[in-house]
Chain A
Amino acid sequence: EDKVVQSPLSLVVHEGDTVTLNCSYEVTNFRSLLWYKQEKKAPTFLFMLTSSGIEKKSGRLSSILDKKELFSILNITATQTGDSAIYLCAGDSGGSNYKLTFGKGTLLTVNP
């Protein structure tokens, strides 16, 4: 059975701090690792990682994948209160249906 584990499950920081969120995965026929941000509604897409060692960056957010260790991290620098959300990571398995297996998420709270 495919499995995605995120840590920590929750994190409280102050504005301006840098955070690192972790995601390990065991996914059959792994194709990619995706990161989403979920506020009150459905997840919004952040990154899709398919290759090891290549950092993807979007503003203050960056992410990298290690396919040997089956691991990914999401970094957020200079956090802001608007970064408060649940961050979900998902493993994408191959096959005709492109199924995603989600981790439990990391609840990030950024205090002013």
Chain B
Amino acid sequence: GAVVSQHPSWVICKSGTSVKIECRSLDFQATTMFWYRQFPKQSLMLMATSNEGSKATYEQGVEKDKFLINHASLTLSTLTVTSAHPEDSSFYICSARAGDRGYEQYFGPGTRLTVT
């Protein structure tokens, strides 16, 4: 149990376009979902936290108008990178927490974004 999927697993897009990444909890209801970014040889940096049905809380330095997060249901959160630039190229990982399973976070497999 506690499986989190992400789609797509990798994506290449052109500079200036927008990309949507989906994060789904497959066998539990995720009351909270987290989005992280990881640059090569760096750690996971929390970008934002989203609770179902409410606006995401963004970490300092993360542009909320650039990284749009929607957590419309208890099993799905999306991250949209708008007007992508090459410096947005990174590994994006989501995690999900189920309210009834304690506070452990379950991680998705990640999405590799390359902006050309």
Contact = CB atoms under 8 A, between A and B. Distances in A.
B43 A97 contact: no
A98 B44 contact: no
A2 to B, nearest CB: 10
B44 A102 contact: yes
Contacts of B110: 41-42
Contacts of B41: 107
Interface footprint category on B: 20 to 34
B51 to A, nearest CB: 7
Interface in B21-68: 32, 34, 36, 41-46, 49, 51, 57
Interface in A74-112: 88, 90, 92, 97-105, 107
Contacts, number: 47
A32 B86 CA distance: 36
A90 B107 CA distance: 13
B44 to A, nearest CB: 5
A48 interface: yes
B46 A105 contact: no
Nearest to A4: B43
Nearest to B2: A45
B93 A42 contact: yes
11 contacts: A31-B103, A42-B108, A42-B110, A43-B44, A45-B107, A88-B43, A97-B49, A97-B57, A102-B44, A102-B45, A104-B43
Interface of A: 31, 36, 41-45, 48, 88, 90, 92, 97-105, 107
